[in-house]
Structure 1
Amino acid sequence: MNWITNYVRPKIRALVTKPDVPENLWEKCPSCSQMIFHRELESNLRVCPHCGYHMRISARRRLEMLFDEGAFKTIELPEVPLDPLRFRDRKRYTDRLREAQAKNDGDEAIIVAHGTLGGHPTVIAVFNFAFMGGSMGIAVGEGLLAAARLAALQEAALIVIPASGGARMQEGILSLMQMPRSVAAVEIVKEAGLPYIVVLTDPTTGGVSASFAMLGDVALAEPGAIIGFAGQRVIEETIRESLPDGFQRAEYLLEHGMVDMVVTRAEMRETLARILGLLRDKVPSAEVVTLPVGDEGAPEDEPEPEIPPLPAEEGSDVRT
């Protein structure tokens, strides 16, 4: 009996039982449909190694990727009313907020952190698309204002990385008011004479693209990112025309002068550090040597050229 229990039964169970394989070991690329091992994908910063498609990345992972040695400090966002309109559709707005907070590392769709980037003091406000589509409500507007004030206080550059579908419908007109408030946040930084850089990621649409996202001193974008106000289908139905290929993609906007550079995720930190160095370093990059007048090696004064006399006209009393 022991032989059947200890040997035969486990063999039979092993034949008929499927092994427990974690479901998140492989991920399918939305662009080329290739299966990618999760460790390879994470080591490649969630960029497909086959086609270069840039998948969405968490807000904290992006902060670790940009700050020097991945070290940064986050700030606590100002308190705001949770449900000012007592909104309810299929669920209460407060229930949606609790679900989003439980699934994400953060209480809102924006995280504000400060540290150094390329040795320069920097404040970064990054959106988390996984939190209700990165929608911009009162808390996001307060977060952008807090980031701008912190940058002005620390005399640091401000980098904003939006990933949003636009305004948050559950807050109605109050969410739309965050558009001018975010513009006011940008003005705080610019009046202080500090750099304001925007890194446009997929997607940057709606009221976000119509406000602070297009006001950067330098506008960068990730490859293939959707950037625009209304969706392509809505535009086509409105104007009753087909839009060109690649419309609202980062590369299309680069060709038409809407963004300054399209930068891959692997090169983003180095590019931002170089831009900050150009904007913030006051020391000339090369040594300037000046020679005092009169010392050896100084260029001698060249003699003034002789001016020939003017020829006399006929009938004139002028004689040379």
Structure 2
Amino acid sequence: MTATPRPRRTTARELIAEVLDGGTFVSWDRTPETGHLPPSYRDELAAAAAKSGTDESIITGEGRVNGRRVAVAVSEFGFLGGSIGMAAADRLVRLFDRAATEGLAVLASPASGGTRMQEGTPAFVSMVGISAAVRRHRLAGLPYLVYLRDPTTGGVMASWGSQGHVTVAQPGALLGFLGPRVYETIYGRPFPAGVQVAENLQAKGLIDAVVPLSELAGVVDRALRILAPADSQRHDGGAPAATPPTPPAPAGPEDVWRSIEATRATRRPSVRHLLKYGASDILPLSGTAQGERDPSMFLALARLGGRACVVVGQDRRPERSEPLGPAFLREARRGMRLAEQLSIPLVTVIDTEGAALSREAEEGGLAGEIARSITELIGLRTATVSVLLGQGTGGGALALLPADRTIAAANAWLSPLPPEGASAIVYRDTEHAAQLAAEQHVDSASLFAAGIVDTVVPEPGPADERPREFSRDMADAVAAALAEVSALPLASLLAGREHKYARIGLPL
């Protein structure tokens, strides 16, 4: 990797001026107590304050982004390298706790070399207290947004810098655990170029995006707009009222095979079309936040029918359509956790040729990831809707299926194997694929009759010829289901899921 030019360092005041509505910032900070500190250290703090124009390495307070109130915590690198001592740690803890009490999202922007060496181990251990405060804020179901600036390393990157629901970074920013100066001093050689840089972290699935400061307000506004309570934006499209599902007509063998061929059309609308034409707001996310990123995964925060949700699905664009691997499901499980933490519904969109059949998938623990995904969905402590948009093959489809309500496009299908694979097992050829597809009841009408699918959305014409109409019809059905399940108590949802899947295949 080649070295990436380091960006100009942004001060805390510059970030606040750029991101918050003009004149809305109100400080929450108290003047730090320094009387108990050694005189030499007090002098060092005074010099740092004079140099940076701030009284500590962290500025906290509140402001508005496009009129929405948000709590903010911004590092000032000019104050002793943005290092976190006990006073700065106290500010952060108070910030997260006050934001939780007042029901505010937090926007944090670290730029720090880590904990303050002058305060030793107590400052180092204060990262635990900050992380606990972040956890309390998350348990309140409130959004935590992080903008990583150059540089962010050490204990800050290993605590509150890596705990955001949405994490973006300054272009070219140095980001990592080990400071490059420490590495070079210990090992006598420079740290490999291009590793600890924002763009590489995005490519590896550790952060969601690289965003210049000039665009940060737009990202924050979109996230807050999506995650605002449903009642505050009830009229931004409105969810259609749920209507009792009409049983679809039984499908004959030829109809089943035509459906399968229809879902394999190259231009059939995907999860991206569903949100492009059916959602009022979308904020794409990326990666597991733990070092993996599957290019066929689509993960986003979105607003459907006026309701915030997390959307997880396969991006079936030809250049990206690949069998599901372990990284895909680990990224999907990040989406599940986000929905649970933010107390918003989860929508899973199934459109897959199946799970990967490879050495890498086996060694990556694919079977275990499918099992964990199913288990998490069954017990997920928030409302869920799954959508059979097209192909639904094998364990890759099953891993995203369990939900409070399942919606299927009329031509969508669900099968243990591709029909050709089933034919190869039973008849040792692929010529019986259509026959077996009908016999295995893979079509949407059969899935509805079996209680696997709750609603079937008609397809009056080829979806690839009417992507806008198809996507809006599907989105309306999803919005209606979201409105229905979001109104139910969590205990009823959990019990209903258990009962639903316990009864599949049993006589009514």
| TM-score where L is the length of structure 2 | 0.44
**2:128 is the alignment partner of 1:180:** yes
The CA distance in 2 between the partners of 1:82 and 1:163, in whole Å, is 27
Does structure 2 retain, via aligned residues, the 8 Å contact 1:64–1:71? no
Deviation at 1:261, TM superposition (A): 0.9
Q: Provide the residue aligned with 2:27 in structure 1.
A: 74
Provide the C-alpha distance between the structure 1 equivalents of 2:187 and 2:51, rounded to a whole number of angstroms: 39
1:62 correspondence with 2:15: yes
Give distance in 1, aligned partners of 2:88 and 2:240.
Answer: 51
Q: 2-side partners of 1:103 and 1:126: how far apart?
A: 17
Matching of residue 94 in structure 1 with residue 42 in structure 2: yes
Equivalent residues in 2 for 1:1-320 (5 A)?
54-77=7-30, 79-81=32-34, 84=37, 86=38, 92-232=40-180, 234-235=182-183, 244-282=192-230, 283=233, 285-290=236-241
CA distance in 2, matches of 1:82, 1:275: 42
Query: In structure 2, what is the Cα distance between the partners aligned to 1:291 and 1:174?
Result: 56
* CA displacement at 1:292 relative to structure 2: 6.8
> 1:34-64: CA deviations, max 9, x gaps?
xxxxxxxxxxxxxxxxxxx631122122111
Count how many residue pairs are aligned between Structure 1 and Structure 2. Answer: 246
Distance apart, 1:245 and its partner CA: 3.5
Q: Secondary structure at the match of 1:197?
A: strand
| Structure 2 residue identity aligned to 1:56 | R
Helix, strand or coil: the match of 2:62? strand
CA displacement 1:5-26 (0-9 Å, x = unmatched) = xxxxxxxxxxxxxxxxxxxxxx
Per the alignment, residue 377 of structure 2 pairs with none
Q: One-letter code of the match for 2:20?
A: F
Alpha-carbon distance in 2 for matches of 1:123, 1:80 = 23
Look at both structures and tell me which one has the larger radius of gyration over its CA atoms.
1
CA distance in 1, matches of 2:55, 2:194: 35
TM-score (norm 1): 0.69
Query: Judging changes above 3 Å, is the alpha-carbon distance between structure 1 residues 82 and 134 closer, same or farther for their aligned structure 2 residues?
Result: farther
2:18–2:213 contact (8 Å) kept in structure 1: no
CA distance in structure 1 between the aligned counterparts of 2:106 and 2:251, rounded to whole angstroms: 57
Given that residues 226 and 248 in structure 1 are in contact (C-alpha distance below 8 angstroms), is that contact kept between their aligned partners in structure 2?
yes
Tell me which moved more, 240-249 or 134-143.
Answer: 240-249
Residues 167, 175 of structure 1: 8 Å contact kept? yes
Letter in 2 for 1:183: S
Q: Which residue of 2 aligns with 1:14?
A: none
For residue 113 of structure 1, report the CA deviation from its aligned partner.
1.6
Letter in 2 for 1:280: A
Against the structure 1 CA distance between its residues 78 and 69, is the aligned structure 2 distance closer, same or farther, given a 3 Å change threshold? closer
Task: Report the alpha carbon displacement of residue 71 of structure 1 after superposing the two structures with TM.
Answer: 1.9
CA 1:305–1:241 in structure 2 vs 1: closer, same or farther (change >3 Å)?
A: same
Name the aligned partner's letter for residue 158 of structure 2.
A
| % identical aligned pairs | 36
Q: In structure 2, do the counterparts of structure 1 residues 165 and 301 end up closer, same or farther at CA, with 3 Å as the change threshold?
A: closer
Unpaired runs of 5+ residues, structure 1, are 1-30, 33-52, 294-298, 307-320
Question: If each structure's helix is expressed as a fraction of its own residues, which one has the higher value?
Answer: 2
Structure 1 residues 287 and 244: alpha-carbon distance in aligned structure 2, compared to 1, 3 A threshold: same
**2:82/2:113 contact within 8 Å kept:** yes
Task: Give, in whole Å, the separation in 2 of the partners of 1:107 and 1:148.
Answer: 20
Q: Deviations over 1:182-201 (max 9, x none)?
A: 10120121121111111100
2: CA distance, partners of 1:102 / 1:77: 17
User: What do residues 248-300 of structure 1 show as CA deviations (whole Å, max 9, x unaligned)?
Assistant: 0000111111111110111111111101112224246423344878xxxxx98
- Alpha-carbon RMSD across the aligned residues, in angstroms, is 2.8
1:124, CA displacement in angstroms?
0.3
Unpaired segments ≥5 residues, structure 2: 253-508
CA distance in 1, matches of 2:72, 2:196: 25
Q: 1:210 to 1:288 in 2, by over 3 A?
A: closer
Q: Report the 3-state secondary structure (helix = DSSP H, G, I; strand = E; otherwise coil) of the residue aligned with 1:275.
A: helix
Q: Are the equivalent residues in 2 in contact too, given 1:63–1:70 (CA < 8 A)?
A: no
| Alpha-carbon distance in structure 2 between the residues aligned to 1:292 and 1:210 | 49
Using a 3 Å threshold, how does the CA distance of structure 1 residues 59 and 151 change in structure 2: closer, same or farther?
same
Structure 2 CA distance, aligned partners of 1:76 and 1:234?
A: 32
Name the aligned partner's letter for residue 13 of structure 2: R
SS in 2 for 1:177: helix
Q: Give the letter for the 2:15 counterpart.
A: R
1:111 alignment partner, SS class: strand
- In 1, Cα distance between equivalents of 2:242 and 2:124: 61
Q: Partner of 1:172: helix, strand, or coil?
A: helix
Whole-angstrom CA distance in 2 between matches of 1:121 and 1:108 = 24
